[in-house]
Amino acid sequence: MTNEYDVAVIGGGFAGVIAARDLSVKGHSVVLIEARDRVGGRTWTAPGLGRQLEYGGTYVHWTQPNMWQELQRHNIPLRIPVVPTTVYWIAEGATHSASPEEYGAALEPLMNQFFADARAVFPQPFDIELVDTSAVEKQTIADRLSALNLPSYEHDLLDGAMAGLVTAYEDHGVAQFLSCVATYFGSWAAFFETAGTWPIEGGTKRLLDAIMAESKAAVRLSTPVAAVEDDGTGVTVTTRAGEQIRARAAVVALPLNTLGDIAITPEVPAASRRMIDDKNPIVGSKIWVRAKGELEPFQAVAPLGQNPINAARVEYHEDGDTFIMCLCSTGAAIDATDPAAVQQALRAFIPDIEVRETACHDWVTDEFSKGGFMLHRPGHFTGGATQLREAHGRIHFAGSDIAGVEAGAIEGAMDTGAHAARSIDAALARGSY
């Protein structure tokens, strides 16, 4: 087994898999190094509740250029989602219900207020340095909610609509949220559709398998990395086991919360180091529920602190039962392995629901993720993340956590992986590396 390559790609999530595939099919020798015994990173299609489940990132959209190109390339369709007939929400301590249209009509003016300046702050979302974002980067989601000065009912209505995507409003900057909405024409409804509606037929594993089948990269699974060093003539990757792998360039495509576990030489820029040290504050969880009987398709939301489950939606019916996807802003607030606890939380919306089984993967305690998808702290989205997207000598970074467009999404991971591959390919062609 050789220990010398043109490129070493560290991390086998979508960013790393795309980078390794793109570079290897260009004729470069590539090794893909992954700590887990599988590729996919924070996406994971695996058995549960008697079927295949998506335990991590799931939803994609035809408006996402990198994702749609790959789906079309491999002839993989999207799965048509179940459309809810009723929406339940908690406000002022009580549960309310209405049709999706009525709920949307009540929510729309509040969302429009919250995201009113999205296009002004990010007129061209693909170029986040186009305007001065220093003021908005100081603002937390909590700051913006408070500035709206809404009555308690309206505050809870808006809070509940966003709670499934956050952990604590005071921990998250508003800039990334504004960028995501600006990306989708300034429409919060369009962004929410892309972020949480359309799964891949056959799961994310189906797409990963298709991309890996094209790749010519060598793959080393169950190989955690301890250090990455650029000495000016090449990159040395040192595994935890002490093995050293030499390459002309490297792609580091790891979750932000694990970058602090790796010695990176030379040191990254100060703003990026602060971001790495501050970490991604998302500590939520995703719980799958198998409920007894074929329940009506519903969607449910709850503000932070008013229910341990902050978002729930019927995903499909099978074998006479109903499968529900639930999001919790704080995973530690509920025991995902306890059907009785999950049933109690869901009964705030559906009083007679009977939970048969639950399934969940704890991404927060997983040593190779240490958290969920990215929602940046104030100052980091246009600060440390921007600097990590620039070449760090022969070391290039990738991953949804540092994406400029679609940060926190599979699309963002793909985009950064493809960008890193293009940059390295060009440098190798010039003889710069």
Task: Tell me the binding residues.
Answer: 34-35, 225
Please give the structure tokens belonging to residue 187: 């429409």
Report the binding-site residues for FAD: 34-35, 225
Question: To the nearest 10°, the Cα dihedral for 121, 124, 129, 131?
Answer: -40
Question: What is d(CA 220, CA 3) in angstroms, rounded to the nearest whole number?
Answer: 11
Question: What is d(CA 251, CA 42) in angstroms, rounded to the nearest whole number?
Answer: 18
Please give the structure tokens belonging to residue 251: 């792609």
Could you give the C-alpha distances from 176 to 21, 125, 128, 380, 398, in angstroms and in order? 29, 10, 10, 9, 17
Residues 6+ apart with CB under 8 A from 157: 89, 91, 106, 107, 110
CB 198 within 8 A of CB 79: yes
